[in-house]
Amino acid sequence: MSDVAKLLVGSAVERMEDARFLSGSGNFADDLAVEGMLHAAILRSPIAHARIVAIDASAALAMPGIHAVITARDISDTIPIIPLRLAPLPEFEPFRQPVIASDKVRYVGEPIAVVIADSRALAEDALERIGIEFEALSAVTERGASETPLFDFAEDNVALRYDAGFGDADAAFASADYVRTERFSVQRHTALPMETRGLLAEWNSSAGRLVVTGATKVTFYNRRALAQMLGLREDDIDLIEIDVGGGFGVRGEFYPEDFLIPFAARKVARPVKWIEDRREHLMAINHSRDIACELSLACRSDGMMLGLRGQVFADMGAYIRTNGGVVPAKAAQFLPGPYRIPHVSVSVEAFMTSKTPVGTYRGPGRFEANFFRERLIDMAATDLGIDIAEFRRKNLITEQELPYPIDGLVPYEGPTSYDTGDYVEVFERALKEIGWHEKRHLQGKLVDGVRHGIGLGCFVESGGAGPKENAALTLEKDGSLTVAVGSSVLGQGLETVLGQIASDTLSIPFDRIRVLHGSTTLLDEGFGTYHSRAVVMGGSAVLDAAIRLREKILQQASNHLGRPNSELKIINANVVADNGASVSFAALAAGCELQADGTFSNEVRTYSYGTHAAHVTVDPRTGAVKVLDYIAVEDVGRAINPAIVHGQAIGAIVQGLGGVFLDHLIYDDQGQLLNASLADYLVPTASDFPVLRAVTLELRPSPSNPLGAKGAGEGGIVAVAAATANAVAAALAPLNVEIHHLPLTPPRLWRLIKNAHARAITAA
């Protein structure tokens, strides 16, 4: 290893990104401006389900400053279809989304036409002058609620059903002392990154080349998809990643606009920029969650879990987009959680409705599954007269049982096992942090007009998806280092983390490192950022490249100094020989090209795990909940930058609390989205959840990668609904209120309290 004064990996170094963001010199999509640039605005369907009879764009086209109005007719006889990037189950193929509506619209917000104009304002003006004749059809807004098939080829609106599991759940249930079945649901909501989507597409007609700036997440995959749709070679398209104002799963998937804007730029032969406004963001970007579940648990009378049965019902919206069935599949896979349940049977039903299509949002399926299971555990423990902590302790998988196989729960995935960890120790740590033993007497107690509740939620969750990531490191002539990586940066601090890894390995000062990311121009291939994979995969690829570059530097120094490698040390960007002679990296780089490629291939997933605990009060007169204390304890294997990991955890907890109490995309029975503005779609603000804590542990490194890192960006959200809803339920238990459905808004809780009171009076 190189001689360095202090290793950066594992230390909370300040972020290299921050100076540019703090000074307002970041470079986001809407900051782009090029000579001759035109602006796009998109006409979106105002109704949920209809036939398009006619489109009349003549009045819009006649307006000054309007360059084009593009509809399906202008594109081709066969409208390109957005591919399934993940979970490519053949059943979903016919439900994929065309890049623009041609004969039918299936959700409010579906693109129908694109206006290209001198300014965004003029383009928006012209939208109002496009006449569309619709023949309205019945909207479908619930499972099985309508006879109307949304797709002509289909008999009903179910896109996919499957069964999965292991063991013999029927036998387990038949022999169990105790069985309880409940129905739960998590409402439709979305990630809501602060930056809306945006793209600048530039077509060079003489070269036949296209450059699209504003791409992110999975740029190489998206380039492949776009090349096929436009009939171009992949090499003739560059997808460029600049600063991205948050992703959380939704940003950077291939959306209709990722075709429409490049297509428009080629058609008008001018650069075209499109910036999504917040209203269209809420109706166009992937929605998520929206899962209902019927869950049954079979136990022995002593609380040992024997079997779990779950039926997952997922509202997929109007089309199956790139993420396929990931959300329901993961909801089903993570139903058993970190517990030893020998017999598990799950089923998934993915059904179509007249709503915006769904995709992944941070902790997809896990947020939901943990809520369903942890709620049912509290109910079962209470029925059996067992302390809720003791019930969990008894059933958590022990370290001796790891690796613990959970094969067979996802039909499109191979065998997989929970890898390493001490689930019980982390659980005990969370109990200690929340003060379980001191505070448990408060459960349900009325103190100063509010009822107290403490809730627990345990989880295990996967990260680090394969198959591969690539990196290329270059020692520049001035002795600085350029790191290029196929991972994408969506604001999570990845530049800093990768810089730390490279700095340690090469003994180059951190401030002499520049990290380039995501763009298809940097590498032959990259795999992007999702499933908490950027550090596990991208970080390992950077490490590999750094080790190779170090060997090249030492070899070059050996030639230069005339000393064998064994007598050389790297100290602060210099190579020093035992005899005192030295040469700087800059001098070495001036003499020859010093560059190294690195790669990391791995199909073994990491399994982060932990426990959340929440202490809340509920005001029974209003249904208002206050979070008094919240603790999330997670073992991430290894934290490259503890401050960044901590920031991920705290940020994720707050997003999760939004999902529990606030975030809710509300549709009426006509399929109209009722709250497509930030005045109506509520997310947490600075005054909502002031007391939150996160403890990041590095107990058991991941065996899958040389860094020992596990996914660390999603563990902060996945058990928030579980712990918080359990706390609210505990607070309201004396009032005979049970919690099954999110969000826990004051009106919902108030109604539950009122109804329970009415039932009690009737019974009396």
Q: Which span (145-153, 434-442, 479-487, 688-696) binds another protein, by CB under 8 A? A: 688-696
Nearest Cα to 727, choosing from 682, 663, 660?
660
Q: Which span (129-137, 185-193, 402-410, 551-559) binds another protein, by CB under 8 A? A: 185-193
CB atoms within 10 A of CB 747: 9
Q: Note whether 616 and 625 are within 8 A (CB).
A: yes
| Distance in Å, CB of 679 to another protein, minimum | 5
Q: Which span (7-15, 575-583, 619-627, 727-735) binds another protein, by CB under 8 A? A: 7-15
Q: Which span (353-361, 370-378, 638-646, 723-731) binds another protein, by CB under 8 A? A: 638-646
For 282, residues 6+ apart whose C-beta sits below 8 A from its C-beta are 190, 192, 665, 673, 675, 676, 677, 681
Residue from 684, 708, 711, 715 in contact with another protein (CB under 8 A): 684
Q: CA 739, CA 64: separation in Å to the nearest integer?
A: 57
352 or 654: whose CB is closer to another protein?
Answer: 654
8 or 473: whose CB is closer to another protein?
Answer: 8
Nearest Cα to 600, choosing from 712, 499, 471, 514?
471
484 or 649: whose CB is closer to another protein?
Answer: 649
CB atoms within 10 A of CB 467: 10
Residues 474-513, mask of contacts with another protein (x by CB under 8 A): ----------------xxxx--------------------
Q: CA 190, CA 659: separation in Å to the nearest integer?
A: 9
121 or 136: whose CB is closer to another protein?
Answer: 121
CB atoms within 10 A of CB 166: 17
Residue from 448, 690, 747, 763 in contact with another protein (CB under 8 A): 690
Give burial (CB, 10 Å; 0-12/13-18/19+) of 440.
middle
Q: Which span (457-465, 592-600, 685-693, 698-706) binds another protein, by CB under 8 A? A: 685-693
Residue 44 sits in the site that holds another protein (CB under 8 A): no
Q: Which span (26-34, 137-145, 333-341, 442-450) binds another protein, by CB under 8 A? A: 26-34
| Distance in Å, CB of 395 to another protein, minimum | 31
| Distance in Å, CB of 246 to another protein, minimum | 4
Q: CA 729, CA 457: separation in Å to the nearest integer?
A: 13
Cα–Cα distances in angstroms (integers) from residue 635 to residues 16, 425, 430, 710, in the given order: 26, 10, 12, 8
Position 695, amino acid: V
Residue 447 sits in the site that holds another protein (CB under 8 A): no
Residue from 19, 269, 674, 758 in contact with another protein (CB under 8 A): 19
Residue 461 sits in the site that holds another protein (CB under 8 A): no
Site for another protein in 94-153 (CB under 8 A): 121-122
Residue 241 sits in the site that holds another protein (CB under 8 A): no
Residue 580 sits in the site that holds another protein (CB under 8 A): no
Q: Which span (189-197, 229-237, 335-343, 369-377) binds another protein, by CB under 8 A? A: 189-197
| Distance in Å, CB of 195 to another protein, minimum | 4
Task: Report residue 486: phi and psi, to 5°.
Answer: -80, -10
Site for another protein in 342-371 (CB under 8 A): none
Residue from 4, 10, 11, 26 in contact with another protein (CB under 8 A): 26
| Distance in Å, CB of 122 to another protein, minimum | 7
Task: Report residue 357: phi and psi, to 5°.
Answer: -60, 155
| Distance in Å, CB of 15 to another protein, minimum | 7
Site for another protein in 270-299 (CB under 8 A): 277-278
For 355, residues 6+ apart whose C-beta sits below 8 A from its C-beta are 48, 107, 108, 141, 188, 287, 315, 317, 318, 667, 671, 673
Residue 18 sits in the site that holds another protein (CB under 8 A): yes
Residue 62 sits in the site that holds another protein (CB under 8 A): no
CB atoms within 10 A of CB 78: 8
Site for another protein in 640-659 (CB under 8 A): 643-644, 646-647, 650-655
For 548, residues 6+ apart whose C-beta sits below 8 A from its C-beta are 473, 596, 597, 598
Residue 514 sits in the site that holds another protein (CB under 8 A): no
| Distance in Å, CB of 645 to another protein, minimum | 10
Measure the CA dihedral 84/87/92/97, to 10°: -30
| Distance in Å, CB of 683 to another protein, minimum | 6
Beta bridge partners of 472: 484, 597
Residue 335 sits in the site that holds another protein (CB under 8 A): no
Nearest Cα to 322, choosing from 84, 30, 570, 107?
84
| Distance in Å, CB of 610 to another protein, minimum | 17
Site for another protein in 242-271 (CB under 8 A): 243-246, 248
Residue 4 sits in the site that holds another protein (CB under 8 A): no
Residue 530 sits in the site that holds another protein (CB under 8 A): no
Cα–Cα distances in angstroms (integers) from residue 269 to residues 79, 202, 206, 265, 312, in the given order: 21, 8, 10, 6, 48
| Distance in Å, CB of 189 to another protein, minimum | 12
119 or 228: whose CB is closer to another protein?
Answer: 119
Task: Report the residue count for the chain.
Answer: 764
| Distance in Å, CB of 437 to another protein, minimum | 26
| Distance in Å, CB of 681 to another protein, minimum | 9
For residue 52 the two structure tokens come to 């398009």
Q: Considering CB under 8 A, how many residues would be counted as binding another protein?
A: 61
| Distance in Å, CB of 285 to another protein, minimum | 13
Cα–Cα distances in angstroms (integers) from residue 511 to residues 1, 451, 595, in the given order: 20, 52, 19
136 or 678: whose CB is closer to another protein?
Answer: 678
| Distance in Å, CB of 639 to another protein, minimum | 13
Residue from 689, 718, 731, 744 in contact with another protein (CB under 8 A): 689
20 or 621: whose CB is closer to another protein?
Answer: 20
Going by their DSSP bridges, the two strands 404-405 and 417-418 should be labelled as antiparallel
Q: CA 591, CA 552: separation in Å to the nearest integer?
A: 13
| Distance in Å, CB of 3 to another protein, minimum | 28
Residue 25 sits in the site that holds another protein (CB under 8 A): yes
| Distance in Å, CB of 71 to another protein, minimum | 25
Q: CA 486, CA 217: separation in Å to the nearest integer?
A: 10
Going by their DSSP bridges, the two strands 237-240 and 131-136 should be labelled as unpaired
Position 156, amino acid: D
For 237, residues 6+ apart whose C-beta sits below 8 A from its C-beta are 209, 210, 211, 212, 223, 226, 227, 230, 262, 520
Q: Which span (13-21, 166-174, 527-535, 588-596) binds another protein, by CB under 8 A? A: 13-21
Q: Which span (8-16, 222-230, 327-335, 589-597) binds another protein, by CB under 8 A? A: 8-16
Nearest Cα to 413, choosing from 743, 86, 13, 15?
86
Going by their DSSP bridges, the two strands 209-213 and 198-204 should be labelled as antiparallel
Residue 615 sits in the site that holds another protein (CB under 8 A): no
For residue 320 the two structure tokens come to 């199956």
62 or 758: whose CB is closer to another protein?
Answer: 62
The three-state secondary structure class of 117 is strand
Q: Which residues of the chain form contacts with another protein (CB under 8 A)?
A: 12, 14-15, 17-28, 30-31, 33, 64-65, 121-122, 191-196, 243-246, 248, 277-278, 490-493, 643-644, 646-647, 650-655, 677-679, 683-690, 692
